[in-house]
Amino acid sequence: MCLYKKMNQAELEAELSKLNKEYIKFQNMQLNLNMSRGKPCPDQLELSSDMIEKINYSQLAKTDSGIDTRNYGELTGIPEAKKLFASILNVPDDMIIVGGNSSLNLMYNYVDMAMQFGLLGNTPWNKLDNVKFLCPVPGYDRHFAICELFNIEMINIEMTEDGPNMNQVKQLAESDPSVKGIWCVPKYSNPSGVTYSSDVVKQFAKLKPAAHDFRILWDNAYVIHHLSEDHDSLLNIFDECKKFNSENMVIEFCSTSKVTFPGAGISALAASKSNIKDIIKIMSKQTIGHDKINQLRHCIFFDSAEKLKKHMESHAKILKPKFDLVVNKLNDQIAPLNIGKWTNPKGGYFISFNSLEGCGKRIYELCKQAGVVLTNIGATFPYSQDPENSNIRIAPTFPSINELSKAMDVFCLCVKIASVEKFLSKTSGKTN
Amino acid sequence: MCLYKKMNQAELEAELSKLNKEYIKFQNMQLNLNMSRGKPCPDQLELSSDMIEKINYSQLAKTDSGIDTRNYGELTGIPEAKKLFASILNVPDDMIIVGGNSSLNLMYNYVDMAMQFGLLGNTPWNKLDNVKFLCPVPGYDRHFAICELFNIEMINIEMTEDGPNMNQVKQLAESDPSVKGIWCVPKYSNPSGVTYSSDVVKQFAKLKPAAHDFRILWDNAYVIHHLSEDHDSLLNIFDECKKFNSENMVIEFCSTSKVTFPGAGISALAASKSNIKDIIKIMSKQTIGHDKINQLRHCIFFDSAEKLKKHMESHAKILKPKFDLVVNKLNDQIAPLNIGKWTNPKGGYFISFNSLEGCGKRIYELCKQAGVVLTNIGATFPYSQDPENSNIRIAPTFPSINELSKAMDVFCLCVKIASVEKFLSKTSGKTN
């Protein structure tokens, strides 16, 4: 393959004409493929079938400690479920509050509580003129959507290969008391797949924010979601915070959405004792507590750390070939042309692709018109604004290998077309 | 029995001494009984065992309409669950949003949304100097707790045998734009057991509140919770509202907490299409949606209206003897002395007892010291302030018949002691 940037106008036009012919072939196939959704595939869901099939009523009605899971009570979760999450997050049981099937909901509630009631006796954020959040980009659209809803100003923070650019974080958090928090997906980050380095975690723990009620919202969504035995490890932020007496700064979240069932899992938050007390004050008015039968169902299904580990390995067995396929297609078709960069994560749910600057939306449109749906361009940025119009979140988990293979062929072709068009517009003096 | 109010001081002292001897006998029994909790008893919970025991994984994984309940999606609930609640509340399916296991949480979220974001484009209540709510009393403590948390001023409204005093409601709601809502338990009200009369429901529908964003929070917690075939019926408020174009004024709530499992049921709200749209705008940022497997589990278990009806009859069979026992004890032991009044509801979870004025806390204390826990005095009023110190919510559902019988004997004795003490303090010129 010849590099597009070395082609003259005639060569580019010939290349484009060739690519368009291929493109029409795909269009004629009337494909209907989707690489936009970070959803487990049906095979993954089947891995948890025994959690429903094999656990009977008498096991579920009462915990070993004698709690009737069917009735009211246990606002913050049954002890067994706290233990399960405590072992996943490696914190003491009493740092855990168990939630419903949505860790997003725990995050929303925490921000809502900060807005409405304030954190640990501080002024409610609602009563302040300005509230700002730091947002490492690209990041998770649902985090940004919460900020946007509450009118919290979002400031982009560069993501490096080690995690957020901590010079930027430090400079902004330590100088501006209106900066109240930061969204983090510290392990196999959404969408880049980056795991924060030990140095980054330590710098977070050492942070001295200007705001006393600054919070690191540590969304550890992919904490045990490795793709193979060769996996990343993440420092326990609470252990680091202990050294600097900064444990109140962190609220950690996780869930079994991508362990058992996204539609019927359980979630948890981990926090310092002061923060737990602060949350319970509101939570006790907010709900009667979450589904305890489903909590116990999960605890019986994962009755040992070994069982959970094996279960996640079964997920990996399904997912690894899909991630490999995407990366291989990009290596084969895009790498030689030098018209994009991408990540090759060791876990999580996404591959982050960056096209040449300005090509993102065109690639999205081309894919769409050939029957391949991608995540909206900009979704990975606050206010849906990708300043470089280039980041595309590839979600390889849901489609079958065959579908994914076809979808990636379409994707690579569309990247090529958009790239040639970009060079052509330069050559012919037009701006893109 | 001789009426206490006709006794002189010596007779009262003799009576008190006799009662105290009985009281000591109970104390010596070291009882540990509880009539404070509106909880189903274990026998009631067993009625729903088949919902877990007899429904298998393959039935639960997919709806008839092809929705994978295990995966993400269906924010507002699966169609089957909407249909189930629509049939219970007698509204169209598209007026339903399905929630998690806590209808209280749906109520909290709605008030939270009004505070933070405003309703249907109106000013968020947070931004107003004053927000007031009307609270028919006695009422449900958890409603009042939400108002108190949000610093919403609560105004007591008298409960009559037909429901809230609508003259008071009309006068306050129609004159004061800071009056933003009212809490209602329209059927088998908590704790009085009153069902709102058709006239009251019609007057609600006709209300012309000064506030455009006034809301009737219609907590229909006991909509199908009859104690026998001789049951109350409640007018459908949405049907009435249609006549006056006031459907946006009502948000209705219900749940299966006292149908299947309090700890693992499902809940719903019903509202006009405008309000549903308003709620979804926030809900879509707030959660990924609620547990769909549990929704389907409920829909399969209640696959016909007949099945649900029979199920509620089984509940009634367990509960009716308990309500009868309480009322019979009161009729036998308290009625002849004329030292209290109580309700005899046809459904719901409570009997509301009013002692002589000023005796409530003393009865509570006496019961407590004899090993019988009652609902806190004042809990049925805003700010936990019962102006007459007399209302006691009796919750007969959880204890066994034997326990309940003993607890009621203690209760009646304590009512007598507190009443005699009251008359004695009058006779001796002391104030109580």
- Nearest-by-CA chain B residue for A77: B263
**Locus of tokens 């928090």:** A181
On whether both A151 and A257 belong to a single domain, the answer is: yes
At which of B303, B320, B352 does a domain end? Answer: B303
CB-nearest to A287 from B102, B282, B286 is: B102
Give residue A320's domain range: 4-44+308-427
Q: 């809230």: which residue's tokens?
A: B164
User: Which residues, 6+ apart, have CB-to-CB distance to B183 below 8 Å?
Assistant: B133, B134, B135, B136, B139, B140, B143, B144, B147, B217, B219
Substitution target in B68, B288, B315, B384 with the highest count of A β-carbons within 10 Å is: B288
Instruction: Give helix A360-369 / helix A401-427 axis angle, nearest 10°.
Output: 130
Minimal C-alpha gap between B68 and chain A (Å): 9
| Contact status, residue A217 vs residue A184, Cβ threshold 8 Å | yes
| Contact criterion met (CB below 8 Å) for B278 and B120 | yes
- What is the DSSP track for B67-130? -BTTSS--TT--HHHHHHHHHHHTS-GGGEEEE-S-HHHHHHHHHHHHHHT-STTPPPGGGSS-
Q: How far is CA B212 from CA B126, B200, B247, B249, in A?
A: 16, 21, 12, 9
Helices (runs of H) and strands (runs of E) counted in chain B: 15, 13
Question: What pLDDT is attached to residue A429?
Answer: 56
Identify the residue whose tokens are 């174009």.
B245
CATH number at residue A316: 3.90.1150.10
In whole numbers, what is the pLDDT of chain B averaged over residues?
Answer: 96
Considering only CA atoms, which of A164, A187, A146 is closest in space to residue A349? A187
Chain A residues whose CB is inside 8 A of the B296 CB are none
Q: How high is the pLDDT of residue B426?
A: 86
- If you ran DSSP here, which 8-state letter would residue A288 be given? S
Interhelix angle B237-244/B198-206, rounded to 10 degrees, is 40
Whether B55 maps to a domain, the answer reads no
pLDDT of B217-275, one tens digit each? 999 999 999 999 999 999 999 999 999 999 999 999 999 999 999 999 999 999 999 99
Give domain status of residue A432, yes or no: no
Estimate to the nearest angstrom the gap between the alpha carbon of B252 and the chain centroid. 14
Contact assignment for B264 to A149 by CB distance below 8 Å: no
Q: Is residue B53 part of a domain?
A: no
Binary contact (B285, A115; C-beta < 8 A): no
Whether residue B260 lies inside any domain: the answer is yes
- ipTM tops the 0.90 cut: yes
Contact check, Cβ <8 Å, A264/B291: yes
> Quick one: A70 and A213 in the same domain?
yes
Q: Is residue B172 part of a domain?
A: yes
Q: Would the CB atoms of B45 and A71 count as touching at under 8 Å?
A: yes
What pLDDT score was predicted for residue B178? 98
A74: chain B residues, CB-CB within 8 Å: 263
* A229 and A213 part of one domain: yes
Q: How far is B359 from chain A (nearest CA, A)?
A: 29
Domain boundary among A248, A275, A303: A303
Query: With pLDDT > 70 as the criterion, what percentage of chain B qualifies?
Result: 99
Measure A291 CA to nearest chain B CA, in Å.
5
Give how far B355 is from chain A: nearest CA, Å. 29
Distance from C-alpha of B321 to C-alpha of B363, rounded to nearest angstrom: 24
Whether B164 has a pLDDT exceeding 90, the answer reads: yes
pLDDT for res B432: 40
Between B428 and B265, residue with greater pLDDT: B265
Long-range CB pairs of B170-177 (<8 Å, 24+ gap) are B170/B203, B170/B207, B172/B132, B172/B134, B173/B134, B173/B207, B173/B209, B173/B210, B173/B211, B173/B214, B174/B207, B174/B208, B174/B209, B174/B210, B175/B210, B176/B132, B176/B210, B176/B211, B177/B210, B177/B211
Q: Do A264 and B292 touch (CB under 8 A)?
A: yes
pTM, full prediction: 0.96
Q: How far is A408 from chain B (nearest CA, A)?
A: 23
Q: Provide the pLDDT for residue A431.
A: 42
Are A245 and A323 members of one domain?
Answer: no
Contact B288 A101 (CB under 8 A): yes
C-alpha closest to that of A210 among A176, A241, A183, A182: A176
Helices B305-333 & B401-427 angle (0-180, nearest 10): 40
Contacts of residue B361, Cβ cutoff 8 Å, sequence gap at least 6: B377, B389
Whether residue B152 is predicted with pLDDT greater than 80 in this model: the reply is yes
Per-residue pLDDT, averaged over B161-179, amounts to 98
Does residue B287 sit in the same domain as residue B318?
A: no
Model pLDDT, residue A259: 98
Domain termination residue (choose one: A257, A283, A303): A303
DSSP structural state of residue A132: E
Query: B54 lies in a domain?
Result: no
Q: Which of A256, A261, A294, A384 to mutate to test the interface with B (most CBs of B within 10 A)?
A: A261
Q: How many Å apart are CA B427 and CA B429, to the nearest integer? A: 5
Does the structure show a pLDDT above 50 at B90?
yes
Q: For residue B52, what is the nearest residue in chain A, using CA coordinates?
A: A57
Is A52 part of any domain?
no
B102 neighbourhood in chain A, CB within 8 Å: 287-290
Instruction: Identify whether residues A147 and A275 lie together within a single domain.
Output: yes
Does A181 map to a domain?
yes
Q: What is the pLDDT of residues B261-279, one digit of tens each?
A: 999 999 999 999 999 999 9
Residue of chain B with shortest Cα separation from A45: B70
Q: Are residues A30 and A157 in the same domain?
A: no
CATH at residue A204: 3.40.640.10
Residue B418 pLDDT more than 90?
yes
Residues A214, A97 share a domain: yes
Choose from A37, A52, A219, A283 for mutation: most chain B CBs within 10 A.
A52
Please give the tally of structural domains in chain A: 2
Contact between chains at B71 and A263 (C-beta distance less than 8 A):
yes
- Please identify every stretch of chain A with a pLDDT value under 50, giving residue numbers as ranges: 430-432
Whether the predicted pLDDT of B67 surpasses 70: yes
For tokens 């004159």, name the residue: B175
Same domain, A272 and A372: no
Are A145 and A187 part of one and the same domain? Answer: yes
Q: How many residues does chain A have?
A: 432
Query: Is residue B281's pLDDT more than 70?
Result: yes
Nearest to B116 among A49, A115, A290 (CB): A115
Instruction: Quickly tell me which residue has 């958890």 as its tokens.
Output: B142
Q: Apex CA B214: angle with CA B213 and CA B219, to 5°?
A: 125
Q: Do A88 and A170 fall within a single domain?
A: yes
Spatial separation of the C-alpha atoms in residues A38 and A190, rounded to whole Å: 10
Contacts of B379 in chain A (CB under 8 A): none
Report chain A residues whose CB lies below 8 A from the CB of B294: 264, 291, 294
Cβ–Cβ gap B291/A116 under 8 Å: no
**Contact residues, chain B, for A60 at CB < 8 Å:** 52
* One domain, residues A207 and A120: yes
Across the A/B interface, how many CB contacts are shorter than 8 Å?
A: 156
Q: How far is CA B220 from CA A69, A403, B238, B254, B382, in A?
A: 24, 48, 13, 5, 20
Percent of chain B at pLDDT above 90?
A: 97
